[in-house]
Structure formats: structure tokens, C-alpha cells
Amino acid sequence: MQITQELLAALPEHIVIHGDEMTRPFECDGLSMYRQKPLAVVLPENIEQIRIVIEICNKHNTPIVSRGAGTGLAGGALPLDNSIVLGLSKLNKIKTIDPQAKTAVVEPGVRNIAISEAVAQHDLYYAPDPSSQIACTIGGNVAENSGGVHCLKYGLTVHNVIAIKMLTIDGEELILHRNDDGIGLLALMNGSEGLLGIITEVTVKLTPKPERVQLVMASFDHVRDCANTVSNIIKAGIIPAGLEMMDQFAIGAAEDFTHAGYPRDAQALLLCELDGDHDNVEQELTKLLALLSTAATIKVANSEQERLTLWQGRKSAFPSVGRLSPDYYCMDGTIPRHYLADVLENITQLSAHYALRVANVFHAGDGNLHPLILYDASIEGDIEKAEALGTEILKLCVDVGGSITGEHGVGIEKLNAMCHQFAADELEVFHQIKAAFDPQSLLNPGKAIPTLHRCAELGNMHVHNNELPHPELERF
């Protein structure tokens, strides 16, 4: 392969990985049902080496797929057969920490949790906490605009990044800052899934650790009571640091796996975490307990140990469910909160219709659903059934004014669903924005935005601006 030889000649040999065996670890990301080996993988150790890769790829008209830790769940870092994978995990230095300004400047391959660990001595932390935070990189977080459990109060990645340095496909450096005058190019880069540029440095905002953190668990005999409680908490003026909901199936699975002390007979479980200074938390706690009148049981965690144990069940929800089924498919739709109960009931009906079990875990506070569809890939037709059910669930989310993806990104996984959320004109604008940065389409081409042709072939009904074709019809 000519390009591989050229990369080997221009770069230190140990950072260029090639050959069938050696590139195998890079053939997929967290969405492992899709696999593809690239021409070669380059793991640069400095910015100059990234520039060389860009230059050589430009010359050969070869696509570049950027990759952080490869924990993405939507296939955003899936290699293309004719591509080079640019793995940024070796750029893992924390350059500076400024405790006064509450900022840190880090390289793109620094792991999310490593930032919080490094600044802990100053009683600070980096707020966005995707569940993969032990492994995922900050560069990947920016590319996906990652969320986590604490988004409702502390925001997404886009709210916690102050500046980035990036290289354009021409190898030019572009510095983007939150306080730049004019249009929001920094915001645009957040969630751009590696299609617009290569991130080489990130300045993040650090958050002071709260004085007190208080977790309350409440169980409910009726799902609707739990969903209404979520709305009532927000309506009462409380913004919890975390507000998580699980359905009966997920509760049982988590309890079997972690023995966190969840009530197995409950139909729904709510975990509500308050944080802040001591007095504020005390006031909010009093208010919160008064709002839990429909709960069957209430448990106020009275030690840090108990708090962590109760969280363990929720945080292990995916592997807990994974034990019950050979395969599961994780969805990531978002909905306006007041549709929670309706959407849940609809998912239950769909689950029965497709004869596939669905476990529901939600970031209820921000309306982000993670239904887990259980299936068995060894049974013929089961994958297709799971995908069809998943598509129905995402359509449901769009129909009530939500989105097909809250925090996992589109990648290759949700290209079809994009056709349902956006009309041809908007998709065309997306393609033109890409071309404004990358006219030859060399950066992660084919991901995130479906071609108009693909959408036409699918013939999906597009719900324009959430105006349903027959608004008079009852949808639930």
C-alpha cells in the first residue's frame, strides 16, 4: 500500500500500525456490530505528526477517521476500508491547571476522569461525566458533545469547554474561544463527530466540588406517579444534580447484579441527587420529601457509602441487563419531560408487539431515554426485529418533539433515523457546512449526516417542525 509506505517513511515507525493483525484492535468502536479494518492506524505523539498525516492523506485523497478511546456507541470512529485512523490517545498530557480561573488546558487524548483526578487537590472537578468516563477522552467528548448523569444542572460538554485548538483539513491551526465575537464556531465543533476538523487541544472549565451531596431514592407502584414526580420536582424550582429513573425490569436486573438494596416489587424507581452548600441542600431536601407523596418507599442515603451503593445499581444497569440476554441494543432518544409516562406506556406496547423485552433507564431530569432492547443475534431475524423496534422508539421521540440522539451521536448507527428528524433542506445545509470546512470530504466522510438519496430510498415520513400530518389523531 503506497500510502502506508509513505506514512512509514515520514513518521517514526512505531506510531504507524499496519497489517491485518495489527489494525484489528481499531476495526470498531463501542458499536461492535459494525467492523472494518482501515489501511493503517497512526498514533501521533505531537501536533507536527498530525500535520504530516493530514498532508499525506490530502495528497492521496485518503479519508481520515479520528479516534479517541474508541468508546463511542454510534460507530462514529468506525474505520472506512480506504481510510487512515488517526488515534489521538497518546496525546494525553494535562498541560496546565489554573485553580484560580478554574480552567485546565489538556491534550485531546486525556481521559475524562483523569482531569477530575488531577484537579481534585484544588477541590475542583470536570463536571460532564459520561458513563465511559474512566476510558473516554476529552477530544472524543468534544466531538460527540457528551453528556452524563449531571447535565441538567451542570450542562453538556459544549457548556464546559472554554476553547479548543484544531487543525483544518489544510493543516492550518484554528483557535476557537467561547468569548469570540461573531458566530459560534466553538459550539459548532462540539458534536461535529470528527467531520469538520481535528481537535489538538482543549481548555475546559472546572467546577468547585459541592460542600454536600445528598441522594434520595424513591420507589413507586405506578410508573405514571414516578413520571409526574419528575415534573413536579422541576416545577417546584429544584434542579437536582442527577435525576434518574428505572423501570421494573431494570430495577430487578440491577438488584440481582449489584444488591444495591432496590425494592424489586416497585414499578418504577427514582434516584434524585441534590448538591450544593449545606443549607441549600437541607432546604431542597425538605422540599423534595414533600413532593414524594405518591412514593411507596423513600430512602434518604445517610452515609457516603450508602449513596455510592445506591448509585452502583443505576450505574451498572447496562451490564446487569446484559447478563439476561445474549445481546442488547441501547437507544438514546430524548423527549420533553411531560411525555415521559406516555412514551413509556408506548414503549411497553411496542415491546409486546415485537415480542422483545425492553429495560428502561432514563436520565429523567433532562428527558434522555436509554431503552435497552434485548435480543439474540443467533436467532435469525432477531437483529432486524430489534432494529425495527428501535426505529419505532426513535420515531416516537421525534413525534413528541424530541430527538433521535441525546448524547451518543449519530455516527453510522442513526443515519436512517436522521431522515425522520430532518427535512431535505436542513440535511443539505448540514452537507454544505461540512463542505465549508472540508470541501474534498476527507474527514470521517459518510458519518453523522445521511445523503439525501439515502433518505429518499427509505421513504421515511418526515415530521416537519413537529407538526404531525394529522394532529387531531390520538397518538397514545
Partner 1 sequence: MNIEEIQQQILDAEQLQIIGNNSQLKSNHLNTLDMSAYSGLVSYQAEELVMTVKAGTTITYIESILAHNEQILPFSIKNTASTTIGGAYAIGSPELRDAVLGVKVIDGQGRILNFGGKVMKNVAGYDVSRLLVGSKGQLVAVCEISFRVLPKAYPVATSTGTIKQTPSKVRQQIEKNLKQVFDPNGRFV
Q: Within positions 127 to 156, which residues make up the interface with partner 1, using CB under 8 A? A: 144-145, 147, 151-152, 155-156
Cβ burial 313-329 (10 Å sphere, 16+ → b, else e): bbbbbbebbbebbebbb
Distance CA 255, CA 263 (A): 8
Per CB under 8 A, 464 contacts partner 1: yes
208 is written with which cell numbers? Answer: 468547585
5 is written with which cell numbers? Answer: 509506505
Find the binder of partner 1 among 89, 334, 360, 416 (CB under 8 A): 334
What is the closest distance, in whole angstroms, from the C-beta atom of residue 8 to partner 1 in the complex?
A: 30
**Angle 235-236-240 from CA coordinates, rounded to 5°:** 90
73 is written with which cell numbers? Answer: 456507541
With respect to partner 1, which residue has the nearer C-beta, 258 or 460?
A: 460
Find the binder of partner 1 among 87, 130, 402, 445 (CB under 8 A): 402
What is the closest distance, in whole angstroms, from the C-beta atom of residue 234 to partner 1 in the complex?
A: 5
Per CB under 8 A, 337 contacts partner 1: yes
Per CB under 8 A, 239 contacts partner 1: yes
Length of the chain in terms of residues written: 476
Per CB under 8 A, 426 contacts partner 1: yes
Q: How many residues bind partner 1 (CB under 8 A)?
A: 76
Spatial contact of 313 and 258, defined as CB atoms under 8 Å apart: yes
What is the closest distance, in whole angstroms, from the C-beta atom of residue 425 to partner 1 in the complex?
A: 5
Find the binder of partner 1 among 187, 289, 298, 388 (CB under 8 A): 187
Distance CA 18, CA 14 (A): 10
Q: For 261, left (φ over 0), alpha (ψ -120 to 50), or beta? A: left
* Locus of grid cell 470521517: 444
DSSP 360-388: EEEEGGGTEEEEEEEE-TTSTTHHHHHHH
Per CB under 8 A, 47 contacts partner 1: no
What is the closest distance, in whole angstroms, from the C-beta atom of residue 182 to partner 1 in the complex?
A: 5
Spatial contact of 10 and 52, defined as CB atoms under 8 Å apart: yes
With respect to partner 1, which residue has the nearer C-beta, 11 or 330?
A: 330
With respect to partner 1, which residue has the nearer C-beta, 17 or 143?
A: 143
Per CB under 8 A, 198 contacts partner 1: no
Find the binder of partner 1 among 191, 210, 240, 390 (CB under 8 A): 191
What is the closest distance, in whole angstroms, from the C-beta atom of residue 96 to partner 1 in the complex?
A: 20
What is the closest distance, in whole angstroms, from the C-beta atom of residue 413 to partner 1 in the complex?
A: 12
Per CB under 8 A, 192 contacts partner 1: yes
With respect to partner 1, which residue has the nearer C-beta, 188 or 285?
A: 188
Please state at what angle helix 2-10 crosses helix 47-60, rounded to 10 degrees: 150
Distance CA 196, CA 189 (A): 7
| Alpha helices, DSSP H, located in 402-445 | 415-421, 424-437
Give the three-class secondary structure for 167: strand
With respect to partner 1, which residue has the nearer C-beta, 314 or 408?
A: 408
DSSP 178: T
Per CB under 8 A, 275 contacts partner 1: no
Per CB under 8 A, 454 contacts partner 1: no
With respect to partner 1, which residue has the nearer C-beta, 159 or 385?
A: 159
